[in-house]
Copies of this chain bind each other. A is one copy, B any other.
């Protein structure tokens, strides 16, 4: 079974605090490491949690507010200094690649690895990337500047062959047909073997939805229904709901209400305003509306298993 694990590197909103870094997360699927947003200090957090920058293959930047990308240029410099040669996929808003190119030019740096930059149209739900085992979709957020979240989904899996249930002389292509849920026929068109008799349902495909910076917005419910894990920003508590609307952010209660409506399995809340020294009240508020909620603080790790979600 592939790993499917999220680790939180930063939990703070716009301004960092002494103990909280701005937003960044690592999502590991199989042996592929994805970095989601890259606030200032991300490379230090990667070191702290012993994650090698060279193993990151995809970086997704949600929007052009500095607390979501000011760590990117330092991380890329360090990849270069540490001898990276493997290409890097970078997904981000218009402008990101211009800033990156300029900073490389002014430092007279010629990267020894390729950056495949894909400029995101953040206004529509759409698939933006496909790997062997998963796909990534952009989720349009409602924020002060163009902004998108991301939906990571394992691809549908093949059916499991039941050991001992099928004859030993089947060819690889026949086995593959059965795994794809097709029956086998002989030349006369008679059923040789029904897939239902020799296979069982595959393990469910796992999914993670990341709501970076956004006002409360139900438009995306159809896309995130039943996801295993939802991260939703919760910059404020609900007594500051008015301020959340003004600043295009959400409250802990709103994050939880969205999780409940989408019937997700687990909710993580993060992107906390520096005004909250103690985060317990935010957690308690969210749990009133969605009990299976956890704080997305530095070091929080959530493994999505096939069966149930385990918080480490």
A interface residue numbers (CB < 8 A to B): 14-18, 21-22, 40-41, 43-44, 47-48, 64-67, 70-71, 73-74, 77-78, 81-82, 93, 95-96, 98-99, 102-103, 105-108, 144-145
Contacts and interface: CB of A to CB of B under 8 A. Distances in A.
A136 to B, nearest CB: 22
Nearest to A96: B106
Given A43-B16, A66-B74, A81-B14, A99 B95 contact: no
A49 B48 CA distance: 20
Contacts of A144: 108
B66 A103 contact: yes
A282 to B, nearest CB: 20
A70 B74 contact: yes
Given A65-B107, A144-B108, A15 B73 contact: no
Contact of A64 (B41, B43, B65, B106): B106
A17 B47 contact: yes
Nearest 6 CB-CB pairings of A with B: A95-B106, A64-B106, A40-B74, A70-B74, A66-B77, A18-B47
25 contacts: A14-B77, A14-B78, A14-B81, A15-B78, A15-B81, A16-B44, A16-B78, A17-B47, A18-B47, A40-B40, A40-B41, A40-B70, A66-B107, A70-B73, A70-B74, A95-B105, A95-B106, A98-B102, A99-B99, A99-B102, A99-B103, A99-B106, A102-B102, A107-B145, A108-B144
- The oligomer's copy count stands at 2
A40 B76 CA distance: 13
A56 to B, nearest CB: 15
B18 A48 contact: yes
A93 B15 CA distance: 26
A67 B288 CA distance: 45
A141 to B, nearest CB: 15
A34 to B, nearest CB: 21
Contacts of A145: 106-108
Contacts of A16: 43-44, 47, 74, 78
